[in-house]
Every structure is written in C-alpha cells, then in structure tokens.
Amino acid sequence: MTDASAAALWLGSLELVGALVFASAGLLDMCARRRSAAVRRQIWALAIAVALVLPLPRLALAASGLRLPDGLAAGLLAVWAIGATSLLVRLVRGHALARRRALEGAPMVAGPWHETALEFAGGPRVELRACASARTPMVVGIWQPIVVVPAAMLEAPPAERRALLAHELAHVARGDCLMALAGGLARAIYWPDPLAWWALRRLRAHAEDAADDAALRTGIPSSSYAAQLVAVARAQLERAGRVAADGLRARVRGVLDVRRIRSREPGELRWGVPRLIGAALVLATMVTACEARSAEEPGAGGASRRASERRVAE
Amino acid sequence: MTRRKPDLDPLSRRERQIMDIVYRRGQATIREVLDELPDPPTYSAVRALVKVLEDKGHLRHTQDGPTYVYAPTRPRDRVATSALAHVVDTFFGGSASDAVAALLDLDGRELSREELDELGAMIEQARKEGR
C-alpha cells in the first residue's frame, strides 16, 4: 500500500472516531440539560481534549487492509490539508490580533476597576486594560491573561462593574481561553466533520453561561445583568449596523431563568489542565483499544473457522 | 415561541402498537387488535390496554351488536405533532425554537433591532416580577 493511501485511510478513520466522540458528547450534554453550565462545559472540554489526543494512540493501530487509488488519496489529503491550514492560520491570526489590540489599551493600575478586581480575593491574577476599540469586555491571553474593558464602560456603576469583572475572571479561572484555542485546534483537525464545529460552539456557549452564573453570584439582579448584555449588543448594532446573535437570546433567557441550576465557584469545579489531558488520554486509549479489538475479531474468527475447517478436512 | 404541551398522555410501546393497528385499519375490535399484535398478550390484557387508551383519550368506542369497535379520536397527523411535542417537551422544556437551536445550533446569525426590543421587553417583565 502506498503512503498516501495509508495516510488518507488513517485520517479518514480518525475523522470517523472523532465524530463519534463529539456525538457522544452531544448526547451527554443533552442528558445533562438540567445540570449547571459549568458541568456541561466540562463535557465539551473533555470531548475536545479526547479529540486532540486521539491521534497519539491511533499511531499504534495496524494499517487498514483497504487501498485507495493514489490520485484519490493524494487529492483527499490535499483538500484536508488546505482546510486545516487555513483554519489554523485564522486561529493564530485571531489570537495574535486580539492580544495586540489588548496591549494597545491603557493599563488600569488604580481606580475603581482596579479596586473592584482586588475585591475578588483568591481570584486569578490578571492585568486590566481599558481599550477604546473594544466593544465588549473580554479576556485575552492564556498564560498572562488580560481583561480588556471597553473605554465606554469605564463609568459603569459599581454593581455592573463587579458583575462584569466576575464574568471575565470566571473565564480566566476556568481556562476558557485555553479551551477556546484547543477547540479551534480540534476544529482545524476535524474540519470536514460538522460536529467539530458544533462542539466548539457548544463549548463557548456553556462557558459564557457559566461565566454569567459567576456574575449573578455577585448579587446583581438578573434583570439588570441581562439588560447589560442587551445594552452591549444594542451599542454594537448602533455602531456597526449589525450585531451577531452569538447566543444572546439563549444567554438572556438563561440569566432570567430562576429555575436554572447555577454553576459553582470555578475554583471548586475546575479540572486542572493536566487532569483533563490525563482523562482524555485514558479515554482516547480506551476508544482506540476497542477499535483495535473490533478490527481484530473478524480476522480471529476467520482464523479459528479456518482451523476448524482444516480439522474437519483431516 | 410559546411552550406547547402535548394534548394527550404519552404512549407506552404496547399502546403505540395498538394505536398503529387501529390507525391502519381505521377501526378495530379487541380480537382484530389481538390478531395483529406482535408477540400478543392475552385477550384480557389487550382489553385493559384499550381501556387505558380510551381513558387517555386516544380511542373511543361504538357498539356493533355485542362487540365494541374502537376508532381513534384524532387524525394521525395531529397525533404525530403531539408525539413530537412530547419529545420537544421532554428534552427542551417545551420550546420548539430552543429545540431547533439546540440541535442545529443555528444562533450564529445576526440580531435585528426588533429582536433586541423583544429581549428588552422580556427583561422589563422580569424586572416587574422582581427578578
């Protein structure tokens, strides 16, 4: 078998198993619909981590007995590589651009925002920057996170300021920037699979909901916080003439829903990155072992059948 | 979108089999149902199940001499909608728009001014309720 054919088949089976992982996460997420957003976010974080480490144990799998025509195999590999590369470039460029814009903002080392940030004792250490070009508060950076505050929000009342900071600090505490990067990487690898795109969107949606829960824990009335979310979207619509839905409707409904189970403090719930990778490796190895076993069984059955046929003939 | 509750109680597997038979035939007696049921239970068990379906409002009976003849109370398309409503209610809290959004995750579009106004009204209502 040629290298191109083997590589295309290996990649194809990886995409299929990846789809299975994302579909399982979707099913689990549906079953966990009455759980907090933080729990549901963890389901997708684990699925994405499994998808990312999945290629490692699969390197040990025996090559498939199938064979693709060389031209077809090379063509499939080229299409996949073009898609994956363009998504990776977009991912890296997006992160770099966001970081550059954040660094252009003015550091806030004093004043009400700085003082409010200090009130979150035991919270993650972050840098605060005021940025004129930012339209919404956001966190940028993985190892040295920066909370970007739009200049237009600098005069926000204390309750809103505290809620906004609680939201962004919850993203930092849960490592949402790292997970968004991991999700983007998984999407680049599994891009032919629509479930990979869906996985990233579900991860982001649940991460936002979990951070909203953290904001509500500051005691701000849910209607005030929801109004804040809508005000940011309205300002964006006025300024740019368009605003992406980005799940705003679902977020507002979630914030106003009194029956919704709220996420706990990020510190209590968070899985450390090493634990997440460890769990993902174990699961990926188990999935690969099951696959290897199911691939062996027909051969083993055939071998024993042939042996018994030989015995009958003798 | 408003919450939509199924009009009738949901059906068990056996009850659904009986309804399928009655729909297919248009109307049926207990004996006819029993003849067509896969892995049929006793006559009494089928009669009890048909009675349950009647109590739930899925079937009604007319008398043909000494025999009861059962017919569905509603056309099949309405029942199918109701069954879908049950799925929507079970998994998505009754909101079909949530169901579609959750399954297809279509919320990547743009928001209109009217939709923002609608959200504003929802928030105002919540504020009045003290939330």
| Domain spans in chain A, listed from the N-terminal domain onward | 3-308
pLDDT in tens, B54-84: 888 889 998 888 888 999 988 776 666 556 5
Sign of CA dihedral A33, A15, A282, A267: negative
Distance CA(B64)–CA(B71), nearest Å, equals 13
pLDDT (mean) for B7-16: 71
* A249/B contact by beta carbon, under 8 A: yes
- Return the structure tokens found at A152: 């237009």
pLDDT in tens, A150-202: 988 888 889 889 999 999 999 998 899 999 999 999 999 999 999 999 999 99
Residue A249 pLDDT:
86
pLDDT in tens, B89-100: 544 444 454 444
Residues with pLDDT less than 50, chain A? 268-269, 299-314
Question: Taking a C-beta distance cutoff of 8 angstroms, is the pair A112, A70 a contact?
Answer: no
pLDDT in tens, A15-53: 999 999 999 999 999 999 889 999 999 999 999 999 999
Closest partner residue to A237 (CB to CB) among B109, B116, B131 is B116
Of A294, A88, A226, nearest in space to B127 by CA: A226
CATH of B13-72, one of 3.40.50.300, 1.20.1440.230, 1.10.10.10, 1.20.120.1200: 1.10.10.10
Predicted complex: ipTM over 0.90 = no
* Cβ density class A47-56: b for 16+ within 10 Å, e for less: bbbbbbbbbe
* A261/B contact by beta carbon, under 8 A: no
Cross-chain residue pair A250–B108, CB shorter than 8 Å:
no
Q: What is the pTM of this model?
A: 0.70
pLDDT in tens, B97-114: 444 444 445 455 677 888
Task: Kindly list the domain boundaries of chain B, sorted by start residue.
Answer: 13-72, 86-128
Instruction: Show which of residues 27-56 on chain A sit within 8 Å of chain B, judged by CB atoms.
Output: 30, 33
